[in-house]
Amino acid sequence: MSSEEDVARGAKRAKKSTSSPTQHSLLPSGIQDTICCSASVVGKGLGKAKPPRTNCAVCDRAGHWRADCPEAWGKAGKPLPGFSARGKRLTNAWEDGNPTKETFAKWVTFLQDKDNFPHGARVFPKDGAPSLKDFKRAARQGAPS
């Protein structure tokens, strides 16, 4: 009788361990995990990944993933390059719908900062999401068209 219980308990344990998340395919649950990929945040040149269909849960605006929310980053005391601490675009940090080269250079630093990404900044799990390399190239050459 007790052995049956053990089997049941064992099965439960096994189930729990196999359902542990595979980090790389999961959408991030918040900021400080993935490289920003929304066009409204990183510009139209690098922002080729599809935006979410729902409004941002933090600021209620459309067009960016919660992980990219300029307001959320600002509230955390880590304003995104090209944005104010309140999540507004800094106009002189942008030109023609893209961050300037100078702003991209700030992104390169921002993305590699362990204070911003304690476990490293991983590429957002959507097709077309930019990598650190893309930001480095944009800092040298400007945004791709």
Applying CB under 5 A, among 41, 56, 80, 111 the residue interacting with Zn ion is 56
Q: State the number of CA atoms in the 13 A half-sphere of 135 facing the CB.
A: 23
* Residue 138 touching Zn ion (CB under 5 A): no
Residue (59 or 93) nearer to Zn ion, CB: 59
Answer whether 101's CB lies under 8 Å from 142's CB: yes
Q: Which amino acid is at 125?
A: P
Q: What are phi and psi of 52, to 5 degrees?
A: -70, 160
* Residue 59 touching Zn ion (CB under 5 A): yes
Answer whether 50's CB lies under 8 Å from 37's CB: no
Residue (59 or 90) nearer to Zn ion, CB: 59
Stretches 19-27, 65-73, 74-82, 118-126: which one binds Zn ion (CB under 5 A)?
65-73
Size of the site for Zn ion (CB under 5 A): 4
* Residue 69 touching Zn ion (CB under 5 A): yes
Residue (37 or 58) nearer to Zn ion, CB: 58
Please, what is the minimum distance in Å from the beta carbon of residue 56 to Zn ion? Answer: 3
Answer whether 100's CB lies under 8 Å from 63's CB: no
Q: Which amino acid is at 120?
A: G
Answer whether 66's CB lies under 8 Å from 41's CB: no
* Residue 58 touching Zn ion (CB under 5 A): yes
Give the binding site for Zn ion (CB under 5 A): 56, 58-59, 69
